[in-house]
């Protein structure tokens, strides 16, 4: 038997001519580079290779498209954060890995520098406040992930029982957000890694992992 897409019979009418995921990836690059307010629908449709009516039929609105892009960012370019936090055996190792991988990812040339969420929609017109609130909640969620990982590290005895997990989480969140700002301002991977070296001193006990300097 020949089944090209299992449980997915060809839909009724004229088939869509563009790949929704590829279009989302192109839209992501535009939003990433220009920001939510700075990206016009014309910019988006141009990069996505579709017309405005197609965009609105598929995503509802510019805001709807942005929300879809944010979801895709989290499971795509931004997924390394969640991966590092769950894979590494210690809290310190997990967070250090997030920071060091961020130094590399934030300065890649295949996409705009910096994190798409850390430095997105900070100030905006009142009409776009719902979008700003959403992005802000994504940032606070990331800090909360840090806090949970550190709290588990405390329970595991990696850190002194009196450690302030919230303060530690906000601290590393700030480092990440600051790295994103500086990556956008032109900092290199090496410069960001040097910053991380300093940042990890807050964990005490000398250098985190021995690195050639």
Partner DNA sequence: CGATTTCAATAGTGAGCGTTATGAAAATCG
Partner DNA sequence: CGATTTTCATAACGCTCACTATTGAAATCG
Positions touching a copy of itself (CB under 8 A) are 32-35, 37-40, 112, 114, 118-120, 122-126, 128, 136, 139-140, 143, 164, 166-168, 170-171, 173-179, 181-182, 184-187, 191-192, 194-195, 197-199, 201-202, 204
- What are the percentages of helix, strand and coil residues in the chain, rounded to 5? 65, 0, 35
Nearer to DNA, 63 or 144 (CB): 63
DSSP string, 11-40: PSSSPPSS-HHHHHHHHHHHHHHHHHHH--
Neighbours of 66 (CB within 10 A): 23
Nearer to a copy of itself, 69 or 179 (CB): 179
Answer yes or no whether residue 2 interacts with DNA by CB under 7 A. Answer: no
Q: What is the dihedral of CA 51, 26, 176, 64, to 10 degrees?
A: 30
Q: What is the x/- site pattern for DNA, positions 60-89, by CB under 7 A?
A: -xxx--------------------------
The entry of a copy of itself, DNA, none that residue 93 binds, CB within 5 to 8 Å by partner kind:
none
Length of the chain: 213
Work out whether the CA dihedral 92, 97, 99, 100 comes out positive or negative: positive
Q: Which long-range contacts (CB under 8 A, 24 or more apart) does 44-47 make?
A: none
Nearer to a copy of itself, 124 or 154 (CB): 124
For DNA, the binding residue among 6, 17, 75, 109 (CB under 7 A) is 17
Nearest-approach distance from CB 158 to a copy of itself, in angstroms: 16
Question: Do 179 and 102 meet the contact criterion of CB atoms below 8 Å apart?
Answer: yes
| Burial environment of residue 197 by CB neighbours within 10 A (0 to 12, 13 to 18, 19 or more) | middle
Dig out the tokens for 32 from the structure. 């990433």
The entry of a copy of itself, DNA, none that residue 181 binds, CB within 5 to 8 Å by partner kind:
a copy of itself
Please give the size of the binding site for DNA, defined by CB under 7 A.
Answer: 27
Helix (H, G, I), strand (E, B) or coil at 134: helix
For DNA, the binding residue among 46, 51, 133, 164 (CB under 7 A) is 51
Nearer to DNA, 123 or 213 (CB): 123
The contact set with DNA (CB under 7 A) reads 9-18, 39-43, 50-54, 56-58, 61-63, 125
């Amino acid at each position: 038997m020949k089944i090209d897409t299992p449980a997915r019979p060809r839909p009724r009418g004229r088939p869509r001519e563009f790949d929704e995921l590829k279009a989302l990836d192109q839209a992501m690059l535009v939003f990433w580079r220009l920001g939510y307010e700075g990206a016009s629908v014309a910019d988006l449709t141009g990069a996505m290779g579709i017309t405005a009516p197609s965009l609105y039929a598929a995503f509802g609105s510019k805001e709807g498209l942005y929300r879809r892009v944010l979801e895709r960012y989290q499971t795509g370019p931004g997924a390394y954060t969640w991966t590092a936090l769950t894979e590494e055996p210690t809290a310190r190792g997990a967070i250090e890995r997030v920071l060091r991988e961020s130094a590399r990812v934030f300065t890649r040339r295949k996409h705009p520098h910096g994190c798409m969420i850390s430095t997105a929609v900070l100030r905006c017109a009142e009409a776009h406040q719902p979008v700003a609130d959403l992005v802000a909640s994504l940032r606070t969620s990331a800090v909360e992930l840090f806090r949970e990982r550190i709290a588990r590290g405390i329970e595991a005895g990696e850190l002194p029982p009196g450690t302030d997990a919230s303060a530690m989480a906000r601290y590393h969140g700030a480092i990440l957000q600051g790295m994103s700002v500086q990556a956008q301002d032109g900092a290199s991977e090496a410069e960001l890694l040097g910053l991380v070296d300093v940042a990890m001193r807050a964990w005490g006990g000398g250098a985190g992992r021995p690195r050639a300097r």
